[in-house]
């Protein structure tokens, strides 16, 4: 059988086109690989929140890389608020019990730039089956158990934020209204110390909304009052979603500040 040159040419061209469009292997920089290895050790609990991690020299020896490579990896971990450097003491795993990171996901700031404290007033805490949308965001099965916390944050005595917080029930067994009422301090510190879940990063969607009747009553405003709606998904190590938070903010005397870089 005689080969058809046109078919041969077409086939060769198709093969070349496929080769040209095939994805090339990608390789992350060495310091990024070391960052990932350190993060794996944090995720496994080798170094717990508040504990010191090995020195750069020790880590360089452990991973058989240069000290400069380790330093660059730790620089990024510090920028991500996963570790904290302390001059003359070493590098420590960041913890939500520290003042500098306690409220790093709370972005509300007064118009006069004078920071005031706030009080948390619990509405309820209950276990229920996950609604489909919450399950999707938490990457669990629909109807899996979840914990729902509702609370109001009061700034200068005025209701300012209504929070609706959804957590995976399997990770937060034993979280009750009584335990929340006993705790003094940010919720993330409680989640970290008693449930072993550290919040690493968050992704938010923000929009302007009009208060419906139920939200208006909780915040002491009229139905239809303009509010800022903040939908947040918070992640722990390994980019695993562990919290869905829906918040409604009264911004009459406050603004929402987000620093971009």
Residue 14 pLDDT exceeds 70: no
If you average pLDDT over residues 63-86, what whole number do you get?
Answer: 91
Structure tokens at 153: 């944050």
Give the dihedral of Cα atoms 222, 125, 163, 242; nearest 10 deg.
-160
**Which range marks the domain in which residue 49 is found?**
30-93
Residue scoring higher pLDDT (44 or 125): 125
pLDDT greater than 80 at residue 67: yes
Using DSSP, state whether 11 is helix, strand or coil. helix
- Out of 109-123, 208-222, 235-249, pick the least confident: 109-123
Q: What is the pLDDT of residues 140-171, one digit of tens each?
A: 999 999 999 999 999 889 999 999 999 999 99
Mean pLDDT comparison of 4-13, 215-224, 250-259, highest-scoring range: 215-224
Is 189 a residue whose pLDDT tops 90? no
User: What pLDDT does residue 163 have?
Assistant: 96
Better pLDDT: 183 or 167: 167
* Number of domains into which the chain is organized: 2
Asked if residue 108 belongs to a domain, the reply is yes
152 and 56 in a common domain: no
d(CA 153, CA 160): 6
Question: Where does a domain end: 62, 77, 93?
Answer: 93
12 or 248: which leads in pLDDT: 248
How far is the C-alpha of 4 from the C-alpha of 11, rounded, in Å?
Answer: 11
Q: Where a domain ends, among 39, 59, 93? A: 93
Q: Are residues 130 and 252 in the same domain?
A: yes
* pLDDT value at residue 108: 77
| Cα 19 → chain centroid | 39
Describe the crossing of helices 67-79 and 56-63 by its angle, rounded to 10 degrees: 110
pLDDT averaged over every residue in the chain: 85
The per-residue pLDDT for 81 is 79
CATH number at residue 82: 1.10.10.10
- Domain-located, residue 167: yes
Measure the CA–CA gap between 106 and 144, rounded to whole angstroms. Answer: 28
User: Over the stretch 77-135, which tens digit does the pLDDT of each residue have?
Assistant: 988 878 889 888 999 988 766 554 444 566 677 887 776 778 899 999 999 999 999 99
Residues facing residue 235 across a β-bridge: 201, 241
Q: CATH number of the domain that 201 lies in?
A: 3.40.1410.10
Residue with tokens 């003094």: 184
Average pLDDT over residues 51-68: 94
Same domain, yes or no, for 199 and 132?
yes
CB atoms within 10 A of CB 72: 17
Q: Alpha carbon of 35 to those of 66, 68, 231: distances in Å? A: 13, 13, 29
Structure tokens at 30: 């060495």
pTM for the whole structure: 0.75
Distance CA 141, CA 131 (A): 9
């Amino acid at each position: 059988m005689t080969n058809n040159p046109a078919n041969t040419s077409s086939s060769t061209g198709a093969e070349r086109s496929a080769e040209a469009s095939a994805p090339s292997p990608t390789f992350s920089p060495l310091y990024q690989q070391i960052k990932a290895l350190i993060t794996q050790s944090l995720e496994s609990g080798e170094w717990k929140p508040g504990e010191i991690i090995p020195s750069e020299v020790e880590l360089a020896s452990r991973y058989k890389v240069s000290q400069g490579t380790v330093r660059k990896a730790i620089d990024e971990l510090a920028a991500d608020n996963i570790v904290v450097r302390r001059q003359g003491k070493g590098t420590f795993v960041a913890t939500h019990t520290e003042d500098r990171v306690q409220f790093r996901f709370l972005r509300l700031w007064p118009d006069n730039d004078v920071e005031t404290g706030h009080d948390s007033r619990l509405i309820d805490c209950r276990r229920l089956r996950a609604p489909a949308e919450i399950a999707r965001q938490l990457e669990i099965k629909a109807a899996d158990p979840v914990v729902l916390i509702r609370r109001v944050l009061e700034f200068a005595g005025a209701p300012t934020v209504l929070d609706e917080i959804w957590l995976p029930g399997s990770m937060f067994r034993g979280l009750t209204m009584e335990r929340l009422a006993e705790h003094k301090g940010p919720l993330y510190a409680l989640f970290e110390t008693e449930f072993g879940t550290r919040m690493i990063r968050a992704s938010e969607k923000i929009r302007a909304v009009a208060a419906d009747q139920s939200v208006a009553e909780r915040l002491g405003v009229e139905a239809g009052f303009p509010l800022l709606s903040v939908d947040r998904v918070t992640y722990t190590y390994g980019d695993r979603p562990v919290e869905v938070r829906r918040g409604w903010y009264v911004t009459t005397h406050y603004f929402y500040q987000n620093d971009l870089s």
